[in-house]
Amino acid sequence: MALIEAKELTKQFVIDRNWLGRPKKVLTAVNRVSLTIEPGETVGLVGESGCGKSTFARTLLGLYPKTDGDVFYKGRNIGEPEIGKDYRRQVQMIFQDPYASLDPRMTVEDIISEPLRNYGLCSDDRERRQRVADLLTQVDLRPETAQRYPHEFSGGQRQRIGIARALAVDPECIFCDEPISALDVSVQVQIVNMLKRLQEDRQLSYLFIAHDLSMVHHLSRRIGVMYLGNLVELGPSDAVFHRPLHPYTQMLIASVPRPDPNYRRTTLVSGEVPSPLDVPTGCVFHPRCPYCDERCRNEVPVLRSVGEERFAACHHVKGGTD
Amino acid sequence: MNPLLEVRHLSISFHTYRGLLEAVHDVSITVHPGETVGIVGESGCGKSVTSQAVMKLLPQGAAEYRTGEILWEGRDLLPLSESEMNGLRGRDMAMIFQDPMTSLNPVLTIGAQLCEGLALYQKLSKQEQRTRAAELLKAVGLTSPEKRLDQYPHQLSGGMRQRCLIAMALSCSPKLLFADEPTTALDVTTEAQVLDVLKKMQAELGMAVVLISHNLGVIAQMCRRIYVMYAGTVVEEGTAEDIFYRPAHPYTKGLLASLPDPSDREKVLTGIPGQAPDLFHMPKGCRFYRRCPQAMKACMEAEPPREEAGPGHHYTCWLAAAERRRGDGTH
């Protein structure tokens, strides 16, 4: 059974209201996205800025109230009160900006012990301090640093504090929203390797969001590709990276700069992402798509199975059933 | 061929409230006409300071040129006055910056900003300026360039703004273009297009480009020769093939070992332990020794010598010297 399942999850933001206070203009940031996360699995989510990947993670976690769709945790709807409470503890999040996501007026100990207090996980101060020290050791920070403030740490160290905070309540799944994009290459590897080690030690699941495709490919078992709020392709990491089916995925992967002086890109890359307030009709990718025809302009493609564990939302991808 | 730009043993310090900070230490860089040179390194390694130093854009008073010289077509730039530099900037050398959101003036139209450079250096009428500006925008791949001239920066996307900045930098056909992280703020599909534009314009104008980036992929695709910087020094220089296929310095090797391999998902990324040294507390010997897997006693004590790994391929490291000593010992 899937640990977490999103079913046609939709998130709309109201941009403008009429004089009755009814929505006049809405922005669909996440459009009927279905995705599962299995226990111990890493699911990568890629796409360009504004494609809705962060909004999806936040809506899935419940940080944003969903507009439509359902979220199931171990097969039970998180709308049920006792399930929702458990879910919020078992799923934690680490954020992109290691500078903005830690309260500058709290010591590291306060930051990490806040979730412990919230859930009443420690009976006394001594036990709590011991837990904080253990957590700091697990993220390769010295326990003596507990009394320091966030500004005394570098970006990579702050990200470790954020991870320790997420681990404090012993969760089953962590949503990582661009956890390494603000870091230098050599520090990125340290964080990625640590996430991998923690996953092995604790059987963690990750929803790993990043725009660095090669790192997502390295870390994830499956990859989902989002474009303008829609999940356009989903499949095993290697298959999506080396044999992309959706024309957008093909363009995205061709754009990744390879650290090889003799690599030459063959796929044509053109066009820009349209405004999410003015979404194209039919397939959202059709204005940039080299294979676009009449059907793409009028008919919205749905995500359908096109092979073993592979899904794509495109009229031109062969195989599978509609 | 005479080099276009030659930076020799340049050291730059900043006066800060914590004392003197040496941001660039003994950096030498050569750029020949028409070639693309890459400077790669992590944040704080001095790559941007080096490029701004060449254009003398560093804040006067705070920045101090300690040693070295900057030769532009054989002429030293350091003694030049501000007005003499103004004659070079924009016309002979131009720069595009990282952040397309903040490097355009939000209260002026794209056309007004583009024509500023044209008016300054080329004797053109208002109408000719406009025509030329529209041509430039078309050359960098903007659609409906006439319309764009009357638009303000906030009406354009990030990729479009970066194209405008490239058009502005190229308006006077400079001999050298500094591109300081030109695509860092952009999405990958936009990045690929902007890099294509840069390549195309370079081929058309025959200018030299110094591309500064932390992204090894971007550097590999664009540059013929590469300088790798670490903590204010150049640790390795060579052709793109040298750096990516035959890296000699442990730092370069560590950087390459930090990159995932698309063909092997199981590759163990070794990376580099620790973090870059604090510029205020620079180690006495090699600046990399605290993170280096092959550090020896010599590395702690003195600055490493410059070694040759092949024609035009140099690196600063003690390892080669130690290797030679060991070789002597066995004979």
For residue B266, what are the contacts with CB-CB under 8 A and spacing of at least 6?
A: none
Query: SS3 of A31, please?
Result: strand
Mean pLDDT over the full length of chain B: 91
pLDDT tens digits for range A212-249: 899 999 999 999 999 999 999 999 999 999 999 999 99
A40, with CB counted inside 10 A (0-12, 13-18, 19+), is middle
Q: Could you tell me if B179 and B218 are in contact, meaning their C-beta atoms sit under 8 angstroms apart? A: no
Q: What is the DSSP letter of A168?
A: T
Q: Which two tokens stand for residue A294?
A: 């009449």
Q: Which two tokens stand for residue A235?
A: 């499949």
* A187 shares contact with chain B (CB less than 8 Å): yes
pLDDT tens digits for range A101-121: 999 999 999 999 999 999 888
- Asked whether residue B174 carries a pLDDT value surpassing 80, the answer given is yes
What local confidence, expressed as pLDDT, does residue B330 receive?
Answer: 55
- Asked whether residue A319 carries a pLDDT value surpassing 70, the answer given is no
Number of C-alpha atoms within 13 angstroms, CB side, residue A33?
32
Provide the residue count of chain A: 322
| Residue B191 host element (H or E) | helix B188-205
- Asked whether residue A142 carries a pLDDT value surpassing 70, the answer given is yes
Residue that has been written with the tokens 């009443």 in this structure: A120
Domains of chain A, with CATH numbers?
4-312 (3.40.50.300)
Return d(Cα B287, Cα B303) in angstroms, integer. Answer: 8
State how far residue A18 is from chain B, nearest Cα, in angstroms: 26
Provide DSSP, B276-327. PPPGGG--SS-TTGGG-TT--HHHHHSPPPEEEEETTEEEE-SHHHHHHHHH
Residue A195 C-alpha from the chain's centroid: 14
Residue A200 C-alpha from the chain's centroid: 20
Residue in B closest to A220 by C-alpha: B265
- Contact across the interface for B265 and A238, Cβ inside 8 Å: yes
Tell me which residue in B189, B240, B276 faces A269 most closely, judged by beta carbons.
B189
Return d(Cα A59, Cα A53) in angstroms, integer. Answer: 10
Please, which pLDDT band fits residue B187 given cuts at 50, 70 and 90? Answer: confident
The predicted model gives B76-102 an average pLDDT of 89
Provide the residue count of chain B: 331
- A263 to chain B: which residues are within 8 Å by CB? 220-221
Q: How far is CA A295 from CA A270, A319, B317, in A?
A: 21, 18, 62
Tell me which residue in B192, B193, B220 faces A259 most closely, judged by beta carbons.
B220
This model of the complex carries an ipTM of: 0.87
- A184 to chain B: which residues are within 8 Å by CB? 42-43, 214, 276
Mean pLDDT over the full length of chain A: 92
- Asked whether residue A277 carries a pLDDT value surpassing 90, the answer given is no
For residue B118, what are the contacts with CB-CB under 8 A and spacing of at least 6?
A: B124, B129, B132, B133, B171, B172
Please, which pLDDT band fits residue A49 given cuts at 50, 70 and 90? Answer: confident
State how far residue B277 is from chain A, nearest Cα, in angstroms: 11
Domains of chain B, with CATH numbers?
5-92+174-262 (3.40.50.300)
Tell me which residue in B196, B217, B273 faces A259 most closely, judged by beta carbons.
B217
Return d(Cα B188, Cα B176) in angstroms, integer. Answer: 26
For residue B234, what are the contacts with CB-CB under 8 A and spacing of at least 6?
A: B27, B28, B29, B227, B228, B316
- A217 to chain B: which residues are within 8 Å by CB? 260, 262, 265
- Asked whether residue B213 carries a pLDDT value surpassing 90, the answer given is yes
Name the pairing type of β-strands B306-310 and A23-37: unpaired
What local confidence, expressed as pLDDT, does residue A320 receive?
Answer: 56
Number of C-alpha atoms within 13 angstroms, CB side, residue B106?
3
Residue in A closest to B243 by C-alpha: A261
The predicted model gives B304-325 an average pLDDT of 92
- Contact across the interface for B221 and A272, Cβ inside 8 Å: no
Buried b (16+ CB within 10 A) or exposed e, A231-241: bbbbbbbebbb
Q: Sign of torsion, CA B151 B153 B154 B157?
A: positive
Return d(Cα B144, Cα B142) in angstroms, integer. Answer: 7
Q: What is the DSSP letter of A282?
A: S
Name the pairing type of β-strands A205-209 and A42-46: parallel
- Contact across the interface for B220 and A189, Cβ inside 8 Å: no
State how far residue B322 is from chain A, nearest Cα, in angstroms: 26
Please, which pLDDT band fits residue B28 given cuts at 50, 70 and 90? Answer: very high
- Contact across the interface for B262 and A217, Cβ inside 8 Å: yes
The count of other CB atoms within 10 Å of the CB of residue A65 is 7
Please, which pLDDT band fits residue A322 given cuts at 50, 70 and 90? Answer: very low
Q: Which two tokens stand for residue A68?
A: 């439509």
pLDDT tens digits for range A169-178: 999 999 999 9
Number of helices (H), then strands (E), belonging to chain B: the values are: 12, 12
Residue in B closest to A238 by C-alpha: B265
Return d(Cα B304, Cα B288) in angstroms, integer. Answer: 10
- Asked whether residue B215 carries a pLDDT value surpassing 90, the answer given is yes
Please, which pLDDT band fits residue A267 given cuts at 50, 70 and 90? Answer: confident
- Contact across the interface for A256 and B271, Cβ inside 8 Å: no
State how far residue B256 is from chain A, nearest Cα, in angstroms: 8
Q: Which two tokens stand for residue A223?
A: 């990859």
Question: What pTM does this model have?
Answer: 0.90
pLDDT tens digits for range A69-83: 999 999 999 988 889
Q: Which two tokens stand for residue A188?
A: 């990125």
pLDDT tens digits for range A80-98: 888 988 999 999 999 988 8
* B250 shares contact with chain A (CB less than 8 Å): no
* A241 shares contact with chain B (CB less than 8 Å): yes
Residue in A closest to B158 by C-alpha: A272
Q: Which amino acid is at A70?
A: D
